[in-house]
Amino acid sequence: MEICAGRHVLAPNVWTKSVEVYDATVRLAAPQPAAFAAALARIDAALPQHRGLFGVFTPDSSDQTSVSTDCPRLLGQIALTLQSQARPPATTFLRVTHTGEPGLFRIVLQAHDPVLAAACLREAAAILDRGLAGDLPDLAPLVDRLTELADDVCVGPGTMLIVRAAAARGIPWRRIGRECMVQLGHGIRQRRIWTAVTDRTSSIAEGIAVNKQLTKDVLAAAGVPVPLGRVVSSVDEAWEAAQAVGLPVVVKPADGNHGRGVFLNLSCREEIERAFPVASKEGRRVQAVVIERYVPGIEHRLLVVGGRMVACAKGEHIYVTGDGRHSIAELIDLQINSDPRRGRSEAMPNKTVVLDATVLAQLDQEGVTPETVPADGRRVLVKQIGTHGLDVTASVHPEMAATAVRAARAVGLDIAGIDLIAREIERPPREQGAAVCEVNAGPQLIIHAHPSQGPGQPVGEAIVDLLFSTAAPGRIPIVAMLGSGVAADRGSDATASATLTARILERILLAAGRTPGLTCGTGKWLAGWLCSAEPNVTADAARDLMVSPDIDAAVCELDWRSLAARGFPFDLCDVLVIDRLRATDVSRADAAAGVSPLAVVEALVDTIATAGTIVLVDGDTTTADLAARSGRTVIAVEPPADPATVATAVATALGIPPDAISSGLADSQAHTRGIS
C-alpha cells in the first residue's frame, strides 16, 4: 500500500462547504475477500471506535471487484477514526473515487489539520497492512503519539470555542501560519486572537500577569484583596519570608502556570526546603520563588471578558479512597485517571495526575508514599489545585464577581482568568478572608465550556461578542472573477478580458472612495499600490489578500483549476463573474485529475450571498442554466462583452453610484494600458 500524493484543501471546496479536507492519491492491491474480512475483524477489535463512528462495515458484495473498492474506503475510515481519537470532535467526511488507473484511488477525508490528517492516513495504511498480515499490535501507544502530534499542530480547543462561536454568527475565520493565531473577519473588519488573547490585549498587562509578585503589587494598590507575600531567591530567604508573612505558607514559581511547582499549606522549614528547588525550576523565565501566606479555602477560576464575569469553575481537592489492597499510585490510576474527562491532551478539561514533586509533597504531608496501601475507607488527599470541576457561575456572589472584574481591570486585561480562593463563593469576600492569588492572561476556556459537573458556559460567544458588535459580521464586499485560467491559458481572449475587467473594477472602487484589494493575472494591488507584478490568480493569493487590514473591498480573479486543488478563498462572496468559461474547458490532464470547471462553478455558486449577483459573460448553455437555477440575480452580458461593460455591471450590482463608475472608467484608461 502506497500513499502517492496528498494535499490540503481549504473549505469550502468542490466536495463540501463546511470542512477542510486532505486529498490523497493511494495505490493499493485488492486482497482476497477472506483475508479482507479477517483483517476487518482484527481492526475492529483493536480499534473499537471505528465501528462506533461508522457502524458495521458492509462490503458492496463478496466478490473480488467489491474488495478492491472496499479496501480504500476502509483505509479512509481508519484514518478518520485515528484523527477523531487524537483530536475531538469526531471526523467522518469521506469520499473515495477510482482514478481510472488500476489500483489507484483518490481518498478525500476531513482534516482537523493537514499534518495530522497525513499522519493518520499513513498510520491507517500501516494498520490495514498489518491487519491483512495478521499481526496487528496494541494501538493505544499509536493513539497517544497522534494525540501529542495533534496538540502540537492543531488549533487549540480553547481557540476553537471562539472560532465556532464566530462561525455561528457568520463571521469568517482563518488560521495564519502554523501557530494558533486566528483571524476573524476580512480586511479592515478583521480581529485577531491567539488562544484567549486578542489583538487589543495589552502587552504591558500580559507582562504584569506573568509576574506573580508584580501582579499582587498592582492588585493590592487597586484595593483587591491578595495574600501577603514576597519574592525570594534562596532557601534561607524563603524561610525568613515564611516567618515574616506568617505560617502556613504557599511556595510557588514567580512566573509559573497550570499549578506546576505550587506547594500549599507548608508549616515548617523542612517542607519549604523540599519545595523550593522544585518551584524554582518550574519558572518559565526566572528561577525566583514566591512565598505567600496560605489562605484556607477552595480555588475558584473566574473568567472575566470585557469587564464582565462570564463563568466560574470551582476547584477540586483530589482524593483517593483506600480499599486495603491497592497502593496509592494504583488508586490514582483506578479512581482518578480513569475519568474520561482526564488525559494528557490539551483538549481535556483536566489533566492526568502524575506523581510529580507537587503530588509527592502532598502525600508526604498526609504521611504516606505512592507505595502505601491505605486502609479500606481511608481518604488520602492527593492534590489541592490544578483541577476544576463544578460550574458555579450562577452561585457567584456579586461582590465576588466585582472583585474578579476589578482585578482584571487593575492588571489591564480584556480577557482574564482570576484565581480566587474562598471557602464559599456564594458569600462576600470580606466575610471569609477571600483573596485573589493569580491573574492569568490567555486563560483556559475549555474548563468553563465543558465542566465535569454543571452546565457549560458560552465563553466563546462572550469573546466573540467582545470583538464584534451584534451588527458586525466582519465582512467586506468580495467580487470573484472566474475565467478560463491564466495559468493554463496565458494570452487567451478570456484571460485578458477577465484581468482587464478586474483592473477597471479596482479603479471604479477607488473612485467611489473605497480601499480595494485586487489579485489578478497581472499582479496584486492594495489600496492602489502595486505590491506584486506576478500573476496572482490562485486561491491562496486571494485568501492572503483578505489578511490586509487596510482593504474594505476585494476583487479576485481566480483560476478554476486552483480552486479545485486548494479550495475556495472565502465562504461568501457578493458578486461572481463567470467570464467566457465553458463546461467543456477541460484538458486531458484535468480530466485525469477528475476536475472540471462545471464542478467548481456548481460549488462556487453556493458561496454567493442570497442577495448576491452572478454576472455571466458570454456563457454557454450549461453555465447559463446553472446560474438561472441558483436563485441569485443574474446579469447576462452578451457578445461583444468588453471589459468596461462587465466592470460597470459588477459595480452596479455592488451599489456603486453612477458618477463614481464614470470617474473610475475614465481613470482606468490611464492605468490599464498594455492589457487588451
Please say if the pLDDT value at position 67 is more than 50.
yes
Domain around 116? 2-153
**d(Cα 340, Cα 161) in Å, to the nearest integer?**
20
How big is the CA angle at 205 (ends 399 and 311), to the nearest 5 degrees? 40
Q: What is the pLDDT of residues 319-328, one digit of tens each?
A: 999 999 999 9
Report in angstroms the alpha-carbon separations of 58 from 66, 438, 488, 557.
Answer: 11, 55, 43, 45
Q: Tell how far CA 116 is from the center of its chain.
A: 13
**Beta carbons of 291 and 229 less than 8 angstroms apart:** yes
**d(Cα 632, Cα 576) in Å, to the nearest integer?**
10
Strand partners, 530: 525
For residue 379, being part of any structural domain is answered with yes
Report in angstroms the alpha-carbon separations of 316 from 13, 350, 364, 389, 591.
Answer: 45, 11, 19, 6, 61
Please say if the pLDDT value at position 521 is more than 50.
yes
pLDDT at 477: 97
**d(Cα 465, Cα 306) in Å, to the nearest integer?**
9
CATH number of the domain encompassing residue 635: 3.40.1190.10
The beta strand positions in 434-585, using DSSP E, are 435-441, 478-483, 516-520, 523-526, 529-532, 553-559, 573-579
Report in angstroms the alpha-carbon separations of 53 from 82, 112, 126, 250.
Answer: 11, 16, 20, 47
For residue 329, being part of any structural domain is answered with yes
Domain end (from 135, 153, 171)? 153
Instruction: Say yes or no: 258 and 132 in one domain.
Output: no
pLDDT at 257: 65
Strand partners, 635: 615
Most confident of 42-51, 385-394, 637-646: 42-51
For residue 13, being part of any structural domain is answered with yes
Instruction: Say yes or no: 236 and 325 in one domain.
Output: no
Report in angstroms the alpha-carbon separations of 213 from 49, 230, 354, 429.
Answer: 48, 7, 28, 21
**d(Cα 54, Cα 91) in Å, to the nearest integer?**
10
Instruction: Say yes or no: 133 and 246 in one domain.
Output: no
Q: How many residues does the chain have?
A: 676
* Mean pLDDT value of segment 295-315: 95
| Sign for the pseudo-dihedral over CA of 368, 372, 375, 379 | positive
C-alpha cell at 662: 464614470
For residue 450, being part of any structural domain is answered with no
Domain end (from 243, 261, 294)? 294
Average pLDDT over all residues of the chain: 90
Instruction: Say yes or no: 147 and 261 in one domain.
Output: no
Q: Is there a cis peptide before residue 640, judged by omega within 30 degrees of 0?
A: yes
Instruction: Say yes or no: 256 and 332 in one domain.
Output: no
C-alpha cell at 390: 463544578
Report in angstroms the alpha-carbon separations of 574 from 226, 581, 633, 641.
Answer: 54, 19, 11, 21
The beta strand positions in 587-643, using DSSP E, are 608-617, 633-637
Domain count, the chain: 4
C-alpha cell at 451: 465542566
Q: What is the pLDDT of residues 193-240, one digit of tens each?
A: 998 999 999 999 999 998 888 999 999 999 999 999 999 999 999 999
Instruction: Say yes or no: 602 and 514 in one domain.
Output: yes
Q: Tell how far CA 156 is from the center of its chain.
A: 5
Please say if the pLDDT value at position 359 is more than 90.
no
Instruction: Say yes or no: 140 and 255 in one domain.
Output: no
pLDDT at 672: 59
For residue 308, being part of any structural domain is answered with no
pLDDT at 317: 83
3-state secondary structure of 482: strand
Instruction: Say yes or no: 372 and 285 in one domain.
Output: no
pLDDT band at 61 (very low <50, low <70, confident <90, very high): low
Give the count of beta carbons closer than 10 Å to the beta carbon of residue 258: 12
Q: What percent of the chain has pLDDT above 90?
A: 71
Instruction: Say yes or no: 275 and 340 in one domain.
Output: no
3-state secondary structure of 343: strand
How much of the chain is in helix, strand and coil states, percent to nearest 5? 40, 25, 35
CA atoms within 13 A on the CB side of 452: 17
- DSSP class of residue 522? T
CATH number of the domain encompassing residue 243: 3.30.1490.20
* Mean pLDDT value of segment 141-153: 94
Instruction: Say yes or no: 591 and 623 in one domain.
Output: yes
Q: Is 439 left (phi over 0), alpha (psi -120 to 50) or beta?
A: beta
pLDDT at 676: 45
**d(Cα 618, Cα 649) in Å, to the nearest integer?**
14
Q: What is the pLDDT of residues 399-422, one digit of tens each?
A: 999 999 999 999 999 999 999 999
Q: What is the pLDDT of residues 551-584, one digit of tens each?
A: 999 999 999 999 999 999 999 999 999 988 876 6
pLDDT at 491: 42
For residue 126, being part of any structural domain is answered with yes
**d(Cα 62, Cα 34) in Å, to the nearest integer?**
9
For residue 121, being part of any structural domain is answered with yes
For residue 34, being part of any structural domain is answered with yes
Helix (H) / strand (E) containing 415: strand 415-422
**d(Cα 295, Cα 432) in Å, to the nearest integer?**
10
C-alpha cell at 20: 477542510
Instruction: Say yes or no: 339 and 245 in one domain.
Output: no
Please say if the pLDDT value at position 494 is more than 60.
no
Please say if the pLDDT value at position 479 is more than 70.
yes
User: Strand order in 191-194's β-sheet?
Assistant: 173-175, 181-184, 191-194, 197-198
The beta strand positions in 218-321, using DSSP E, are 229-232, 249-253, 263-266, 289-293, 298-305, 308-315, 318-321
**Beta carbons of 371 and 327 less than 8 angstroms apart:** yes
pLDDT at 115: 97
Instruction: Say yes or no: 568 and 531 in one domain.
Output: yes
| Sign for the pseudo-dihedral over CA of 193, 199, 202, 207 | positive
